[in-house]
Structure 1
Amino acid sequence: MRAFVLYLLLALTAPACSLPASEPASGDNLSAELYYVEKVIDGDTFIIEGGEKVRLIGIDAPETPNSFKQRNFHYGIEAKDHLRELIGSQKLKLEFDIEKRDQYDRLLAYAWLENGLFINAYLIEEGYARVVTFPPNVKYHDQLNQLESEAKENKRGLWNK
């Protein structure tokens, strides 16, 4: 019953988004400020200048080997390395949704490279992460789900089994 209520809530509140991974979002929540990436923690978390931890919204990358919860931890290493190559020492625009912080006080954001690449979507599209949605932060839920389906269908990254 709880899963049905969550599904219904998502269906009723998630906007219909069909932006490709390379088209920047428009809206009031996209920062005009650029944030410099100091360090990549794992495949979905990084630190920006000033020591602020940022967790990418709507995605979940596999954990790295220091977490024994994840059985396919080698994908966690690949996801972390790929994110580091993609955004390490880069400047990003951040876009916020309804809730700005999680229970660990990390900043929750969608991230965009200066060239317009939507990082969250790209990681899903290439199979470095899977979709995970925590309402009320559901702005790109439909788009990310579509990209995950395509990644599974094309056996990219995590889905290449």
Structure 2
Amino acid sequence: MPPRFLADEMLAKLVRFMRVMGLPVRHLEGKSDSSILAIAKIGNFTLLTSDEELALRCKKRKIPSLYLPQESVERQLSLIIRSFGIRLPKFSSGTLCPACGGKLLKVRKAHLIGKIYPAVLERRRLFWRCGKCRHIYWSGTHYIRLRKAYNKVLKLSS
């Protein structure tokens, strides 16, 4: 089982990407380094950070962490996968909400009338709604880009 991940503010794009790939991660925004360290320690999280100084502070306090250089999110995620021996779940758009990390649930078109643009309802077949924040997602061109990114992560991780 992978560790419980906590990501600092600088990794917002990676957090969304991890969630889409089915990996739960808590994202902290607007918190001081001291607060981040306390939350990581108390919550038994592994901190993901691109802040070298924060990574060193974790090491001194014996808080599990992984320093992620400022690279593409695919490279960052492949480093996480290799470092912790994680197996990515099978690719699916309906995993975790990129915004909040809530579970995405399939939803029928009929339930979305008046909630999204009619043109989107006409052109798309698959829809999901976050059970937590209620955001609506559908498979579009972003789905193809995500699948390519997923395959790139698998290649970089092997």
TM-score in terms of structure 1 length: 0.26
Higher Cα radius of gyration: 2
TM-score in terms of structure 2 length: 0.27
Higher helix share: 2
Q: Which has the higher contact order (CA 8 A, sep 6+)?
A: 1
